[in-house]
Amino acid sequence: MLELSSILKNAHTNVMGIINITPDSFYPGSRVNEKQLLSRTEKMIREGVEIVDLGGESTKPGADVVPFEEEVKRVIPAVKTIRAHFDVPISVDTYKSELAKIALEEGANIINDISALRMDEHMASVVAHYGCPVILMHMKGTPKTMQQSPQYDDVINEIIDFFRGRIEFATNKGIRQENIVLDPGIGFGKTLEHNLTILKRIDEFKSLRFPLLVGASRKSMIGMILDLPAEERLNGTLAITAYCAMHDIDIVRVHDVKENVEIIRIIEAIKNVGDKMGKQV
Protein backbone atom coordinates (compact mmCIF):
# COMPACT_ATOMS: atom_id res chain seq x y z
CA MET A 1 0.00 0.00 0.00
CA LEU A 2 1.33 3.43 -0.96
CA GLU A 3 2.23 5.69 1.95
CA LEU A 4 0.88 9.23 1.93
CA SER A 5 4.45 10.56 1.87
CA SER A 6 5.07 8.76 -1.42
CA ILE A 7 1.87 10.14 -2.98
CA LEU A 8 2.14 13.82 -2.06
CA LYS A 9 4.89 16.01 -3.42
CA ASN A 10 6.47 18.11 -0.68
CA ALA A 11 6.29 21.91 -0.83
CA HIS A 12 3.71 21.63 -3.59
CA THR A 13 -0.06 21.91 -3.95
CA ASN A 14 -1.13 18.54 -5.36
CA VAL A 15 -4.10 18.25 -7.71
CA MET A 16 -6.77 15.61 -7.08
CA GLY A 17 -9.01 15.13 -10.12
CA ILE A 18 -12.69 14.31 -9.62
CA ILE A 19 -14.24 11.46 -11.59
CA ASN A 20 -17.89 10.85 -10.73
CA ILE A 21 -19.48 7.58 -11.78
CA THR A 22 -22.90 8.92 -10.93
CA PRO A 23 -25.89 10.25 -12.90
CA ASP A 24 -26.62 13.08 -10.47
CA SER A 25 -23.41 14.85 -9.39
CA PHE A 26 -23.98 18.61 -9.22
CA TYR A 27 -21.55 19.33 -12.08
CA PRO A 28 -22.40 17.32 -15.21
CA GLY A 29 -18.88 17.74 -16.58
CA SER A 30 -17.50 15.48 -13.83
CA ARG A 31 -19.73 12.54 -14.73
CA VAL A 32 -18.33 9.65 -16.75
CA ASN A 33 -19.67 6.35 -18.00
CA GLU A 34 -17.79 3.11 -18.55
CA LYS A 35 -16.79 4.06 -22.09
CA GLN A 36 -15.43 7.46 -21.03
CA LEU A 37 -13.49 6.34 -17.96
CA LEU A 38 -10.12 5.48 -19.51
CA SER A 39 -9.99 8.50 -21.78
CA ARG A 40 -10.94 10.84 -18.91
CA THR A 41 -8.30 9.30 -16.64
CA GLU A 42 -5.63 9.42 -19.35
CA LYS A 43 -6.48 13.06 -20.04
CA MET A 44 -6.14 13.95 -16.35
CA ILE A 45 -2.78 12.17 -16.12
CA ARG A 46 -1.54 13.95 -19.24
CA GLU A 47 -2.62 17.26 -17.73
CA GLY A 48 -0.66 16.66 -14.51
CA VAL A 49 -3.07 15.16 -11.99
CA GLU A 50 -1.43 13.62 -8.90
CA ILE A 51 -4.47 11.68 -7.60
CA VAL A 52 -7.79 10.66 -9.15
CA ASP A 53 -10.81 10.58 -6.85
CA LEU A 54 -13.61 8.16 -7.77
CA GLY A 55 -17.12 8.70 -6.45
CA GLY A 56 -20.14 6.44 -6.87
CA GLU A 57 -22.58 8.40 -4.72
CA SER A 58 -23.43 12.08 -5.05
CA THR A 59 -22.89 14.05 -1.83
CA LYS A 60 -24.40 17.30 -3.07
CA PRO A 61 -26.84 19.00 -0.69
CA GLY A 62 -30.07 17.03 -0.46
CA ALA A 63 -28.63 13.90 -2.09
CA ASP A 64 -30.15 10.53 -1.26
CA VAL A 65 -28.09 7.53 -0.15
CA VAL A 66 -27.16 5.12 -2.95
CA PRO A 67 -27.73 1.43 -2.10
CA PHE A 68 -24.48 -0.39 -1.35
CA GLU A 69 -24.87 -2.83 -4.24
CA GLU A 70 -25.32 0.00 -6.72
CA GLU A 71 -22.30 1.90 -5.41
CA VAL A 72 -20.16 -1.25 -5.70
CA LYS A 73 -21.42 -1.75 -9.26
CA ARG A 74 -20.34 1.77 -10.14
CA VAL A 75 -17.02 2.08 -8.31
CA ILE A 76 -15.28 -1.29 -8.29
CA PRO A 77 -15.14 -1.85 -12.07
CA ALA A 78 -13.76 1.69 -12.39
CA VAL A 79 -11.01 0.98 -9.85
CA LYS A 80 -10.11 -2.25 -11.66
CA THR A 81 -10.06 -0.56 -15.06
CA ILE A 82 -7.89 2.37 -14.00
CA ARG A 83 -5.48 0.18 -12.06
CA ALA A 84 -5.09 -2.19 -15.01
CA HIS A 85 -3.95 0.67 -17.24
CA PHE A 86 -2.37 3.35 -15.04
CA ASP A 87 -0.18 3.71 -11.94
CA VAL A 88 -1.87 6.95 -10.81
CA PRO A 89 -2.90 6.92 -7.12
CA ILE A 90 -6.62 6.22 -6.78
CA SER A 91 -8.77 7.73 -4.04
CA VAL A 92 -12.27 6.34 -3.44
CA ASP A 93 -14.85 8.77 -2.11
CA THR A 94 -16.96 6.64 0.24
CA TYR A 95 -17.99 6.29 3.87
CA LYS A 96 -18.97 2.63 3.47
CA SER A 97 -16.38 0.26 4.94
CA GLU A 98 -17.23 -2.77 2.81
CA LEU A 99 -16.89 -0.77 -0.39
CA ALA A 100 -13.59 0.66 0.89
CA LYS A 101 -12.33 -2.86 1.61
CA ILE A 102 -13.17 -4.16 -1.87
CA ALA A 103 -11.72 -1.05 -3.52
CA LEU A 104 -8.45 -1.35 -1.61
CA GLU A 105 -8.20 -5.03 -2.55
CA GLU A 106 -8.61 -4.07 -6.20
CA GLY A 107 -5.88 -1.43 -6.17
CA ALA A 108 -7.26 1.78 -4.68
CA ASN A 109 -4.80 3.70 -2.51
CA ILE A 110 -6.72 6.30 -0.48
CA ILE A 111 -10.11 6.43 1.25
CA ASN A 112 -11.83 9.82 1.14
CA ASP A 113 -14.46 9.70 3.91
CA ILE A 114 -16.83 12.67 4.09
CA SER A 115 -17.95 11.51 7.54
CA ALA A 116 -14.44 11.30 9.04
CA LEU A 117 -15.07 7.65 10.05
CA ARG A 118 -18.40 8.39 11.74
CA MET A 119 -21.03 6.91 9.41
CA ASP A 120 -19.74 3.33 9.38
CA GLU A 121 -18.36 1.87 12.59
CA HIS A 122 -16.08 -0.50 10.69
CA MET A 123 -14.38 2.04 8.42
CA ALA A 124 -11.56 2.89 10.84
CA SER A 125 -10.66 -0.78 11.20
CA VAL A 126 -10.55 -1.26 7.44
CA VAL A 127 -8.29 1.78 6.95
CA ALA A 128 -6.02 0.63 9.79
CA HIS A 129 -5.85 -2.94 8.46
CA TYR A 130 -4.80 -1.85 4.96
CA GLY A 131 -2.51 0.90 6.21
CA CYS A 132 -3.83 3.29 3.59
CA PRO A 133 -4.04 7.08 3.69
CA VAL A 134 -7.43 8.47 4.72
CA ILE A 135 -9.02 11.88 4.25
CA LEU A 136 -11.08 13.00 7.24
CA MET A 137 -13.62 15.63 6.25
CA HIS A 138 -15.70 17.86 8.50
CA MET A 139 -19.43 17.77 7.83
CA LYS A 140 -22.34 19.00 9.94
CA GLY A 141 -25.27 16.63 9.46
CA THR A 142 -25.52 14.43 6.35
CA PRO A 143 -25.62 15.33 2.65
CA LYS A 144 -29.41 15.11 2.88
CA THR A 145 -29.65 17.60 5.77
CA MET A 146 -26.36 19.52 5.95
CA GLN A 147 -27.54 22.76 4.35
CA GLN A 148 -30.63 23.15 6.54
CA SER A 149 -29.59 26.31 8.44
CA PRO A 150 -26.11 25.26 9.64
CA GLN A 151 -24.94 27.30 12.64
CA TYR A 152 -21.65 27.71 14.52
CA ASP A 153 -20.46 29.91 17.36
CA ASP A 154 -16.95 29.90 15.86
CA VAL A 155 -16.70 27.82 12.69
CA ILE A 156 -12.89 27.57 12.72
CA ASN A 157 -12.45 26.54 16.34
CA GLU A 158 -15.37 24.12 16.14
CA ILE A 159 -13.86 22.40 13.09
CA ILE A 160 -10.44 22.27 14.75
CA ASP A 161 -11.98 20.69 17.86
CA PHE A 162 -13.80 18.22 15.61
CA PHE A 163 -10.54 17.30 13.90
CA ARG A 164 -8.76 16.79 17.21
CA GLY A 165 -11.46 14.33 18.24
CA ARG A 166 -11.41 12.46 14.95
CA ILE A 167 -7.60 12.26 14.90
CA GLU A 168 -7.65 10.78 18.39
CA PHE A 169 -10.35 8.32 17.37
CA ALA A 170 -8.46 7.31 14.23
CA THR A 171 -5.12 6.79 15.93
CA ASN A 172 -6.73 4.83 18.75
CA LYS A 173 -8.10 2.51 16.06
CA GLY A 174 -4.60 1.94 14.67
CA ILE A 175 -4.50 4.47 11.83
CA ARG A 176 -1.05 6.04 11.62
CA GLN A 177 -0.89 9.80 11.97
CA GLU A 178 1.33 10.09 8.91
CA ASN A 179 -1.53 8.70 6.77
CA ILE A 180 -4.15 11.28 7.79
CA VAL A 181 -5.29 14.22 5.65
CA LEU A 182 -7.78 16.83 6.93
CA ASP A 183 -10.51 18.47 4.83
CA PRO A 184 -12.53 21.31 6.43
CA GLY A 185 -15.47 20.45 4.17
CA ILE A 186 -16.28 23.50 2.08
CA GLY A 187 -20.03 23.41 1.41
CA PHE A 188 -20.76 20.55 3.80
CA GLY A 189 -23.00 22.09 6.43
CA LYS A 190 -21.74 25.65 5.94
CA THR A 191 -23.16 28.95 4.75
CA LEU A 192 -21.34 31.19 2.30
CA GLU A 193 -19.91 33.17 5.21
CA HIS A 194 -18.69 29.97 6.89
CA ASN A 195 -16.98 28.85 3.67
CA LEU A 196 -15.30 32.21 3.15
CA THR A 197 -14.17 32.27 6.78
CA ILE A 198 -12.62 28.82 6.40
CA LEU A 199 -10.61 30.04 3.43
CA LYS A 200 -9.67 33.36 5.03
CA ARG A 201 -8.41 31.58 8.16
CA ILE A 202 -7.12 28.41 6.45
CA ASP A 203 -3.67 28.78 8.01
CA GLU A 204 -5.15 28.19 11.47
CA PHE A 205 -5.75 24.54 10.57
CA LYS A 206 -2.00 24.10 10.15
CA SER A 207 -1.66 24.15 13.94
CA LEU A 208 -2.86 20.52 13.79
CA ARG A 209 0.23 19.60 11.73
CA PHE A 210 -1.55 17.42 9.17
CA PRO A 211 -1.79 17.79 5.39
CA LEU A 212 -4.80 19.84 4.32
CA LEU A 213 -7.20 19.32 1.42
CA VAL A 214 -9.55 21.98 0.07
CA GLY A 215 -12.44 20.98 -2.19
CA ALA A 216 -14.22 24.08 -3.50
CA SER A 217 -14.29 23.32 -7.23
CA ARG A 218 -17.36 24.79 -8.95
CA LYS A 219 -19.32 24.70 -5.67
CA SER A 220 -22.33 26.83 -4.84
CA MET A 221 -20.28 29.34 -2.82
CA ILE A 222 -18.74 30.44 -6.12
CA GLY A 223 -22.17 30.59 -7.70
CA MET A 224 -23.46 32.74 -4.85
CA ILE A 225 -20.64 35.25 -5.26
CA LEU A 226 -20.65 35.40 -9.07
CA ASP A 227 -24.30 34.51 -9.75
CA LEU A 228 -23.27 31.74 -12.12
CA PRO A 229 -24.28 28.08 -12.64
CA ALA A 230 -21.83 25.24 -12.02
CA GLU A 231 -20.91 25.12 -15.71
CA GLU A 232 -19.56 28.70 -15.51
CA ARG A 233 -17.63 28.58 -12.23
CA LEU A 234 -14.17 27.69 -13.50
CA ASN A 235 -12.70 31.16 -13.02
CA GLY A 236 -13.98 31.28 -9.45
CA THR A 237 -12.49 27.85 -8.82
CA LEU A 238 -9.11 28.98 -10.16
CA ALA A 239 -9.15 31.99 -7.85
CA ILE A 240 -9.58 29.68 -4.85
CA THR A 241 -6.88 27.31 -6.15
CA ALA A 242 -4.45 30.22 -6.52
CA TYR A 243 -5.27 31.28 -2.98
CA CYS A 244 -4.68 27.73 -1.72
CA ALA A 245 -1.35 27.51 -3.55
CA MET A 246 -0.27 30.81 -1.99
CA HIS A 247 -1.13 29.34 1.42
CA ASP A 248 0.73 26.05 0.80
CA ILE A 249 -2.38 23.84 0.94
CA ASP A 250 -1.33 20.26 0.22
CA ILE A 251 -4.20 19.11 -2.03
CA VAL A 252 -6.92 20.79 -4.05
CA ARG A 253 -9.76 18.55 -5.25
CA VAL A 254 -10.94 19.84 -8.63
CA HIS A 255 -12.93 19.03 -11.74
CA ASP A 256 -10.67 20.78 -14.27
CA VAL A 257 -7.13 19.43 -14.01
CA LYS A 258 -5.26 21.32 -16.73
CA GLU A 259 -6.39 24.78 -15.69
CA ASN A 260 -5.75 24.17 -11.99
CA VAL A 261 -2.33 22.62 -12.61
CA GLU A 262 -1.31 25.65 -14.66
CA ILE A 263 -2.50 28.10 -12.00
CA ILE A 264 -0.51 26.23 -9.35
CA ARG A 265 2.62 26.17 -11.52
CA ILE A 266 2.50 29.94 -11.98
CA ILE A 267 1.91 30.61 -8.27
CA GLU A 268 4.70 28.24 -7.25
CA ALA A 269 7.08 29.77 -9.80
CA ILE A 270 6.46 33.18 -8.22
CA LYS A 271 6.86 31.80 -4.69
CA ASN A 272 10.04 29.95 -5.59
CA VAL A 273 11.73 32.58 -7.72
CA GLY A 274 15.48 32.41 -7.17
CA ASP A 275 15.69 28.67 -6.66
CA LYS A 276 16.35 26.17 -9.45
CA MET A 277 12.77 26.06 -10.72
CA GLY A 278 12.39 29.81 -10.58
CA LYS A 279 15.52 30.35 -12.66
CA GLN A 280 14.20 28.07 -15.39
CA VAL A 281 10.89 29.94 -15.75
Active site members = 219, 253
Cross-strand bridge partners of residue 53: 18, 91
The per-residue DSSP string of the chain comes to ---HHHHSPTTS-EEEEEEE--S--SSGGGB--TTTHHHHHHHHHHHT-SEEEEESS--STTPPPPPHHHHHHHHHHHHHHHHHH----EEEE---HHHHHHHHHTT--EEEETTTT-S-TTHHHHHHHHT--EEEE--SS-TTTTTSS---SSHHHHHHHHHHHHHHHHHHTT--GGGEEEE--TTSS--HHHHHHHHHTGGGGGGG-S-BEE--TT-HHHHHHHT--GGG-HHHHHHHHHHHHHTT-SEEEES-HHHHHHHHHHHHHHHTBTBHHHHH-
SS3 letters across 23-66: CCCCCHHHECCCCCHHHHHHHHHHHCCCEEEEECCCCCCCCCCC
**Residue 29 near residue 231 (C-beta atoms within 8 A):** yes
How far apart (Å, rounded) are the C-alpha atoms in residues 90 and 84?
A: 12
